């Protein structure tokens, strides 16, 4: 998957608990998981944005049973097995951004602002560094990474190109922090804009959006 935006997807709710005789009805079912991406095979994503994806609500308990089911798990990317390789993505404001079961390889990616729980769950195998985590849950450990740093993103909007993106605002720590073509930075961003931005910079930006000269 390349140059794509997955936004505001909501899985289905858990089913309502059915009646049981004798006794109270069954508890409600668990809500749907993986609002944007569920992978158990081989997934590669490049220059893409995941924003505002949710989990399903738990279902209501059956007759005389007030036990609702729990919500689903991870609105962004849920990797349950296999390998997910994520290059220069912007993953932000999902109900859980990244659940790293199986093998998840990360490079040049922003993970920020989970609205439900930590940004990351599980163990990440870094592909090449240059990642940014607005918290500390992703376990970033390379010298080119940034942890507990807010990326300073704009709203999801039409910023050029065929898909909506999250722009880096002036002063974002992701600007000029994504390495160079020699270290794996792609030649263009999600919109098709050249990386680096041609404003005298030799380094590209972290994430799916190239800021075009902002400092």
Could you read off the pLDDT of 38-60 as tens digits, one per residue? 999 999 999 999 999 999 988 87
H or E stretch at 144: none
Percentage of residues of the chain with pLDDT beyond 70: 98
pLDDT at 134 over 60: yes
Residues 6+ apart with CB under 8 A from 200: none
Chain-centroid distance, C-alpha 56? 17
Mean pLDDT, to the nearest integer, of 83-98? 98
> What average pLDDT does the chain have?
92
**Can you give the pTM of this predicted structure?**
0.92
What separation, in Å, do the N-terminal and C-terminal C-alpha atoms of the chain show? 30
Q: What confidence tier does 28 reach under pLDDT thresholds 50, 70, 90?
A: confident
pLDDT at 214 over 90: no
The per-residue pLDDT for 192 is 96
């Amino acid at each position: 998957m390349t140059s794509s935006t997955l936004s505001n997807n909501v899985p289905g709710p858990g089913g309502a608990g059915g009646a049981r005789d004798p006794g109270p009805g069954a508890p409600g079912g668990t809500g749907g998981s993986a609002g944007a991406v569920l992978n158990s095979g081989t997934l590669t994503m490049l220059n893409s944005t995941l924003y505002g994806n949710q989990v399903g609500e738990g279902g209501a308990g059956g007759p005389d049973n007030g036990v609702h089911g729990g919500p689903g798990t991870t609105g962004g990317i849920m990797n349950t097995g296999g390998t997910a390789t994520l290059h220069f993505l912007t993953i932000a404001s999902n109900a859980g951004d990244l659940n790293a079961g199986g093998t998840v390889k990360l490079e040049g990616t922003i993970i920020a602002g989970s609205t439900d729980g930590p940004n990351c769950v599980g163990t990440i195998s870094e592909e090449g560094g240059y990642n940014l985590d607005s918290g500390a849950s992703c376990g970033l450990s390379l010298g080119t990474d940034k942890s507990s740093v807010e990326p300073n993103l704009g709203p999801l909007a039409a910023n050029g190109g065929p898909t909506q993106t999250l722009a880096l605002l002036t002063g974002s720590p992701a600007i000029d922090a994504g390495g160079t073509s020699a270290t794996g930075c792609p030649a263009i961003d999600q919109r098709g804009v050249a990386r680096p931005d041609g404003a005298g910079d030799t380094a590209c930006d972290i994430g799916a959006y190239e800021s075009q000269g902002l400092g």
